[in-house]
Structure 1
Amino acid sequence: MEKGNKQPLLSSLERDEDKLHSLSGRVTTTTTSFFATFKADSNDIPPITGVRDFFREFYSEFKKLWYLAGPAIFTSICQYLLGGITQLFCGHISTIAQAAFSVEDYVLGLFSYGAMLGMGSALETLCGQAYGARHIDMLGIYMQRSMVILHMTALIFMFVYIFAEQILNLIGQSPEISKATGKFSIWMIPQLFAFAGIFPVSKFLQAQSKIMVMMVISAVVLVLHTLFSWLLMLKLGWGLVGAAVVLNASWWVIEISQFLYVVSGTCGRAWSGFSWRAFQNLWGFVRLSLASALMLCLEMWYFMVLIIFAGYLENPKVSVDAMSICMNILGWAVMVAVGLNAAISVRVSNELGAGHPRSAQISLFVAVISGFLMGLVFSLILIFTRDQYPSLFSKDKQVGDLVSALTPLLAISLTTDSIQPVLSVAIGAGWQGVVAYVNIACYYILGIPLGLILAYKFDMGIKGIWWGMISGTVVQTCVIFWMIYKTNWNNEVSKSCKVI
């Protein structure tokens, strides 16, 4: 009897052991497959073969990335809050003042800001890879070329500001909003030329990891900006004129301070003075700048559409104000992602220039995880305070109620847009042209048409437009993620040599 029971028991144990070996084999295969994506560098750096190796590399890259990302995020938020603080004070002047500032800042301002920031972002590829390859003397030349091109661009955009009222009337905006925006835009022309200097100098400093000085300058300017905005706009009653004076002055102080830091001798070989070489090979530089501008503008102008279409709805002043508040909050979170993007672009371009493809991969992995977690936290905060935070931006109850109703969509956008700028590592790797085509397809062929169908065919209003645009963003994020997953990073190292 005992012998008869042993055979079934042994068979059962053998089957369990076989299942355990099979499961262990699948886990091992999956783990090996995951770590295999982080291949060894071509310069004899050992491969990652297990969890301990991976977390060692992850932690090491986490420290390097956040050494840049922390100050870069703080700088981005401070600079973005210059407009946010101004909008906050405009909301306490009048509804039309807030609408005029919103249209100027989120339509005209975003148009010029996106184009010029995008053109300046070409330096993230050129300066970053040159610094990684130890071609330090080229950084100053690249910066000067970018400044020449951006000042010429500012001259062109100046006419958009001059004829802002006519342009807004032409596209069907409210005459009252168009007139107020047109007057305010003329006052904001000096800001264009401040951008033309700030962006090249910022990218020049970022490539060398000189982020702390930018952070200090931006923080000091933000404090002064808040004080003088209150004084001129509310206390002295200058209104929108006061907003323009303080905002222009703040951007110019940032530009002058950063440039004085560069020419003071703190950048070593990277700055050896003005050179006629800045005017050489301008066309090749213009092409990369235009590709960078197109890639970034297609992303930033995408959300400009929400403000424009809000002006076509019933009660346009309330719709524009509510949407501008949502875009302001989204902008704060996106600035965190943009700061993280600046850091990851520096890390990727530096590592590609130095011939370290695996380090570039791990940097991107760390940045994506960080961006997702931050976006999730921001979204939850908004959901839990949806009935309280709108009153910080406007005294109008209709505006506040609409902002509260739009908060779930805002939370979804926060999460996706905290990942998407980080994935746009194209800036550091030189993929700007390819990503521009992806943006056109996902944003303007899918997202906006779908949003208009939902808004007008299914009577969903501004929510329908937003849902369509979220769909475009999600698809774009998935496409770029797939591109990065399929990338041969060793080939990117070879391409970086050609860029320089």
Structure 2
Amino acid sequence: MSSATETLCGQAFGAGQYHMMGIYLQRSWIVDGLMATVSVPLLVFASRIFKLLGQEEEIAEAAGSISLWFIPMLYQMVFQLTMQMYLQAQLKNFIVGWLSAFSFALHLLLSWILVYKLNWGVAGAMGSLNICCWIMVVGEFVFIFGGWCPNTWKGFSKAALYDLWPIIKLSMASGLMICLELWYTAILVLLAGYMKNATIAIDAFSICLNFNAWEFMICLGLFGAAIVRVANELGRGNAKALKFAIKTIMSESICIGMVFFILCLGCWHQISYLFTTDEQVAQVLSSLSDLLALSVLFNSFQAILTGVAIGAGFQSMVAIVNLGCYYIVGLPIGVVLGYVLNLQVTGLWIGLLSGVAFQIVILGFIVWRTDWDEQVEKASQRLNRWLINEENKEEHNNQIQSLSQA
């Protein structure tokens, strides 16, 4: 849902409506905070939910105990992600980078102490993660409230309570877009749990997903750049610069993807032993090398195309594309190949790739066919419609106060 913050703040920054960025940030806190509260029961009753879905008792209990640790992280993400988007939109990436580096270093130290020295196991690892994540939130609060964003943060305003519906719609579309993507891989892991030798299948599938996610972290940098550049140029009204930015970022991403594609094809068998000492798991991982290489290459296209769509405010369209590609194409193919044709984990991964491939083709067509001059005009109209002039903020505050008293 926080990607809505990046769309709105990025376009507002490009249009020079700096004071609106702080208002959009506060509105996002309200909307995302309410949604986080609604989601808490899913984490509280995660163990029972997994048992109802037929998961093994041991796996369900382990997942249930770990899920409780994500409750404080859920609220941490309400603030941390929205503030990160707010800062990135105004090109203040350095503070996010420094805080992330400090948090990562502290996490390593705390994990070593809590997990290995105090032998607290999973509880120690999750406790360390929670502490470090909240330190990032505190650091971002200090940076924003401390006067380092003087043009975009004018303090808390009652105007944040005004005109929430557009934020809700865009946030819900953003949340659905991301959830459909995350649930896709989660469901595939769940399906791997029903296979013969489920432990080996889940181990191999999870290792491949983790490696794919690590490589995707590199693409996430370009993903963020695509969002910011597209949103800024839309707000600024410069369609020509927007098109040039898309071509440049896409070229960089493809070059990076090719490097990892070749690495996976040539060295994945050796790399797999960095993740496991189990020979059976390593054999399954080796059999997935070609498919994993394709996944890594697809990341380069998927990240940029999705970033362009978010920067332009196409979240609802991407959500529909994700629904069709992942759940109507990818999942059925994975189930048929994995279970009916007995390809096991390989079949599931082919299904995953099929959904992503369809998504890339459709998003690529959408970006190619979009009239960016028309989108510039629409963005201008939208921003002006939601604009609250600084001199009128007090008037809005008085109106809201009168309504609350009535």
> TM-score w.r.t. structure 2 length?
0.91
Name the amino acid aligned to 2:48: Q
- Offset at residue 153 of structure 1 (A): 1.5
Q: Which residue is 1:60 aligned to?
A: none
Residue 243 of structure 2 is aligned to residue 358 of structure 1: no
Q: Which residue is 2:277 aligned to?
A: 395
Residue 217 of structure 2 is aligned to residue 342 of structure 1: no
Residue 134 of structure 2 is aligned to residue 262 of structure 1: no
Q: How far apart in 2 are the matches of 1:486 and 1:386?
A: 38
Which SS does the other structure have where 2:18 is aligned?
coil
Q: Which residue is 1:138 aligned to?
A: 20
Deviates more, 1:333-342 or 1:441-450: 333-342
- Offset at residue 375 of structure 1 (A): 1.3
Q: Which residue is 1:278 aligned to?
A: 160
Residue 371 of structure 2 is aligned to residue 485 of structure 1: no
CA contact (8 A) 1:174 1:316 kept: no
CA contact (8 A) 1:344 1:363 kept: yes
CA contact (8 A) 1:291 1:432 kept: yes
Q: Which residue is 2:344 aligned to?
A: 461
Q: Which residue is 1:190 aligned to?
A: 72
Which SS does the other structure have where 2:16 is aligned?
coil
Q: Which residue is 2:289 aligned to?
A: 407
Q: Which residue is 1:53 aligned to?
A: none
Q: Deviations over 1:128-151 (max 9, x none)?
A: 111111000000000011111111
Larger radius of gyration: 1
Q: How far apart in 1 are the matches of 2:141 and 2:285?
A: 40
Q: Deviations over 1:401-438 (max 9, x none)?
A: 32222222111111012211201111111111112111
- Offset at residue 372 of structure 1 (A): 1.3
Residue 293 of structure 2 is aligned to residue 443 of structure 1: no
Q: Which residue is 2:50 aligned to?
A: 168
Deviates more, 1:228-237 or 1:165-174: 228-237
Q: How far apart in 2 are the matches of 1:277 and 1:210?
A: 24
Q: Which residue is 1:103 aligned to?
A: none
Q: Which residue is 1:59 aligned to?
A: none
Q: How far apart in 2 are the matches of 1:255 and 1:318?
A: 37
CA contact (8 A) 1:133 1:353 kept: yes
Deviating beyond 4 angstroms after TM superposition, the runs of 4 or more aligned structure 1 residues are none
Q: Which residue is 2:125 aligned to?
A: 243
Q: Which residue is 2:182 aligned to?
A: 300
Q: How far apart in 2 are the matches of 1:320 and 1:249?
A: 29
Which SS does the other structure have where 2:288 is aligned?
helix
Structure 2, unpaired ranges of 5+:
384-406
Q: Which residue is 1:499 aligned to?
A: 382
- Offset at residue 391 of structure 1 (A): 2.7
Structure 1, unpaired ranges of 5+:
1-118
Deviates more, 1:454-463 or 1:202-211: 454-463
Count matched residues. 382
CA contact (8 A) 2:272 2:286 kept: yes
CA contact (8 A) 2:216 2:299 kept: yes
Q: Deviations over 1:447-474 (max 9, x none)?
A: 1111111112211111112112211211
Instruction: Pick from 335, 340, 353 the counterpart of residue 470 of structure 1.
Output: 353
CA contact (8 A) 1:337 1:419 kept: no
Name the amino acid aligned to 2:40: M
Q: How far apart in 2 are the matches of 1:377 and 1:235?
A: 39
Instruction: Pick from 316, 325, 328 the counterpart of residue 207 of structure 2.
Output: 325
Q: Which residue is 1:156 aligned to?
A: 38
